């Protein structure tokens, strides 16, 4: 059975950019519900959640929608909460790769923000590694880049539950502030692991 991953920081650690109440509800209610419903849909398994989502087409058809939504929600939030930390500078190999692929960190921010702002309705914008290269993509609902054979190393949740309490309808402000809570050390680790 899959368990709700613990956060390695406090719910108020990302204040004022992501508020304590949003973090608490997001983790203990939303991520918990995806976890419970994923377990209900999958029953027992000896695979990792990421393997199941990468091989979604092998999941029996009667369970596939539930696994896609809840297993997707499970792995997406597991990644999301793991790449959050306040005041970390972009550095290391990932910085070089961003410069190489997008020109500069500012250009990357611009393209990533654009993906986050143009995802219509609920979904995600991602920085992924695809065939060894960095790429920005977006997915609807809880669809995961893993299902497309891409390794997510950074993701922003643009479901309203991720920002509405604090930002109301101002998704652009939330996206702007998201850049202040990216744990680039962790993103760098995920990048190195993806190779």
| Comparison of 74 and 159: residue with beta carbon closer to Mn ion | 159
Residues 124-183 that bind Mn ion (CB under 5 A): 157, 159, 162
User: Are the C-beta atoms of 122 and 160 separated by less than 8 Å?
Assistant: yes
Q: Torsion over CA of 95, 23, 146 and 49, rounded to 10 degrees?
A: 130
The site for Mn ion, by CB under 5 A, has a size of 3
| Comparison of 130 and 141: residue with beta carbon closer to Mn ion | 141
What three-state secondary structure class fits 128?
A: strand
User: Are the C-beta atoms of 84 and 14 separated by less than 8 Å?
Assistant: yes
* DSSP structural state of residue 4: P
Q: Which residue is nearest to Mn ion (CB)?
A: 157
| Comparison of 97 and 157: residue with beta carbon closer to Mn ion | 157
Q: How far apart are CA 118 and CA 114, in angstroms?
A: 6
- Least distance to Mn ion from the beta carbon of 89, Å? 26
- Least distance to Mn ion from the beta carbon of 154, Å? 15
Binding residues for Mn ion, per CB under 5 A?
A: 157, 159, 162
């Amino acid at each position: 059975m899959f368990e709700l991953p613990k956060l390695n920081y406090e719910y108020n650690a990302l204040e004022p950019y992501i508020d304590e109440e949003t973090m608490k509800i997001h983790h203990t209610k939303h991520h918990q519900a995806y976890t419970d419903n994923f377990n209900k849909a999958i029953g027992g398994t000896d695979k990792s959640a990421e393997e199941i989502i990468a091989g979604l087409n092998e999941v029996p058809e009667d369970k596939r929608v539930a696994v896609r939504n809840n297993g997707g929600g499970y792995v997406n939030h597991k990644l999301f909460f793991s790449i959050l930390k306040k005041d970390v500078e972009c550095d290391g190999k990932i910085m070089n790769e961003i410069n190489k692929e997008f020109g500069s960190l500012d250009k990357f921010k611009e393209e990533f923000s654009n993906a986050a702002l143009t995802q219509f309705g609920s979904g995600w914008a991602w920085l992924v590694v695809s065939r060894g290269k960095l790429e920005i993509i977006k997915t609807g609902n809880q669809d995961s880049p893993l299902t497309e054979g891409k390794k997510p190393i950074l993701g922003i949740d643009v479901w309203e539950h991720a920002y509405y309490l604090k930002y109301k309808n101002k998704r652009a402000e939330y996206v702007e502030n998201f850049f202040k809570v990216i744990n680039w050390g962790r993103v760098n680790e995920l990048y190195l692991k993806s190779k």
